[in-house]
């Protein structure tokens, strides 16, 4: 039998829960966004996209690093996927492989956040854009993968090449720079370079690729450690690392060709404009978000 006092509290608790849920939804929806199935060039609901992603092995959530609405969508999508797949692993470009031990200790509650961040080299926008995901994973006991290569190693590749880091503990076992379409997109992103600069562009591209190979290797190794289980790995990365199935995506599939992988990309600007060819080619699904 419910006591009179408890009967008075129940409506208040229900109202608080509804307010919290509404706030979560408004945090994404209030920023205005649309979701698109690129194969059908049609707009869909976020829930439909999540339902279709839930049976994959790896889902790439490509981001524009400084877009507030985009980051809220990443977290909301990850949470919705977890509701369907409790075996979810969150993988982050934004942490480097040599801080995995510190990240694990923090997630386990062995060290406090100040100690963790002092050793983890968080990105400048960590508090605003990535901390909510890490804290969410921590509360639910989910593993978080520090997937990227340490910046000093990537910097060495950009200056002297891969041979100078080959065999290092936190460098990938192999480097793949033989992806012509990816290199062309990289050259365009760098603004184009003359023949005299081709050697330097090769080194910069190698540094880009060593990040892709390291993230791909981190994900592949995490899946191997989990075998025979096949958890859902959700990888957050800059969209250039995953758009068109290039970069980290193609390098993961070289290592684990049987995986079922999906790519979600992000495009900022006027929400209502028609999808262009680049957006349609970017991934299996596309988020449209306001420019920042």
42-62 as b/e: b if 16+ CB within 10 A: eeeebeebbeebbebbbbbbb
Q: Is 226 exposed, middle or buried (0-12, 13-18, 19+ CB in 10 A)?
A: middle
**Spatial separation of the C-alpha atoms in residues 286 and 268, rounded to whole Å:** 10
Signed CA dihedral, 263, 215, 246, 55: sign only: negative
CA angle, residues 232, 236, 238, in degrees to nearest 5: 145
Residuewise pLDDT in 10s, the chain (292 residues): 434 443 433 333 333 333 333 333 334 444 589 999 999 889 999 999 999 999 999 999 999 999 999 999 999 999 999 999 999 999 999 999 999 999 999 999 999 999 999 999 999 999 999 999 999 999 999 999 999 999 999 999 999 999 999 999 999 999 999 999 999 999 999 886 555 468 889 999 999 999 999 999 999 999 999 999 999 999 999 999 999 999 999 999 999 999 999 999 999 998 888 899 999 999 999 999 999 8
- Confirm whether 17 is domain-assigned: no
- Confirm whether 40 is domain-assigned: yes
- Partnered with residue 35 across adjacent β-strands are 44, 287
Q: Where are the beta strands (DSSP E) in 9-119?
A: 34-37, 42-44, 58-63, 89-96
Helix 113-120 × helix 100-107 angle, to 10°:
170
**Spatial separation of the C-alpha atoms in residues 99 and 136, rounded to whole Å:** 19
Q: Where are the beta strands (DSSP E) in the chain?
A: 34-37, 42-44, 58-63, 89-96, 144-148, 233-238, 261-268, 285-289
3-state secondary structure of 56: coil
**Spatial separation of the C-alpha atoms in residues 236 and 78, rounded to whole Å:** 10
- Confirm whether 2 is domain-assigned: no
pLDDT confidence of residue 194: 56
- Confirm whether 5 is domain-assigned: no
Q: What is the pLDDT of residues 119-147, one digit of tens each?
A: 999 999 999 999 999 999 999 999 999 99
For 190, the token pair is 């760098």
pLDDT confidence of residue 15: 37
- The pTM is what? 0.88
| Maximal C-alpha separation, the chain | 83
3-state secondary structure of 207: helix
CA angle, residues 291, 39, 74, in degrees to nearest 5: 40
pLDDT confidence of residue 6: 37
Domain that holds residue 36: 31-289
Pick from 190, 217, 287: which is nearest to 58 by CA?
217
pLDDT confidence of residue 11: 39
Pick from 264, 237, 219: which is nearest to 53 by CA?
264
**Spatial separation of the C-alpha atoms in residues 132 and 138, rounded to whole Å:** 10
Domain count, the chain: 1
CATH number of the domain encompassing residue 53? 3.40.50.11550
pLDDT confidence of residue 273: 86
- Confirm whether 10 is domain-assigned: no
- Confirm whether 24 is domain-assigned: no
- Confirm whether 14 is domain-assigned: no
Interstrand relation of 58-63 and 261-268 (parallel, antiparallel or unpaired): parallel
- Confirm whether 3 is domain-assigned: no
């Amino acid at each position: 039998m419910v006591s009179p006092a408890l009967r008075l509290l129940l409506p208040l608790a229900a109202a608080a829960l509804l307010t919290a849920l509404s706030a979560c939804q408004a945090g994404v929806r209030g920023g205005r966004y649309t979701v698109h199935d690129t194969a059908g060039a049609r707009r869909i609901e976020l829930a439909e996209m999540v339902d279709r992603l839930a049976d994959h092995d790896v889902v790439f959530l490509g981001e524009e690093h400084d877009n507030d609405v985009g980051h809220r969508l990443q977290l909301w999508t990850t949470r919705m996927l977890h509701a369907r797949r409790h075996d979810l692993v969150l993988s982050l470009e934004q942490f480097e492989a040599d801080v995995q031990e510190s990240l694990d200790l923090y997630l386990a509650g062995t060290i406090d956040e100040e100690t963790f961040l002092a050793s983890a080299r968080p990105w400048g926008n960590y508090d605003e854009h990535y901390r909510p995901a890490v804290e969410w994973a921590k509360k639910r006991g989910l593993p978080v993968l520090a997937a990227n290569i340490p910046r000093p190693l990537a910097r060495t590749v950009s200056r002297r090449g891969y041979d100078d880091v080959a065999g290092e503990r936190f460098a990938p076992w192999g480097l793949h720079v033989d992806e012509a379409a990816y290199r062309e997109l990289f050259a365009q992103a760098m603004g184009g370079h003359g023949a005299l600069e081709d050697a330097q562009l090769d080194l910069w591209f190698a540094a880009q690729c060593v990040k892709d190979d390291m993230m791909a290797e981190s994900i592949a190794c995490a899946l191997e450690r989990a075998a025979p289980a096949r958890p859902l790995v959700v990888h957050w990365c800059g969209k250039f690392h995953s758009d068109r199935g290039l970069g980290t995506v193609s390098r993961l599939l070289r290592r684990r060709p049987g995986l079922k992988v999906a790519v979600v990309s992000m495009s900022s600007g006027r929400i209502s404009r028609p999808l262009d060819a680049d957006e349609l080619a970017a991934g299996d699904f596309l988020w449209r978000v306001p420019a920042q």
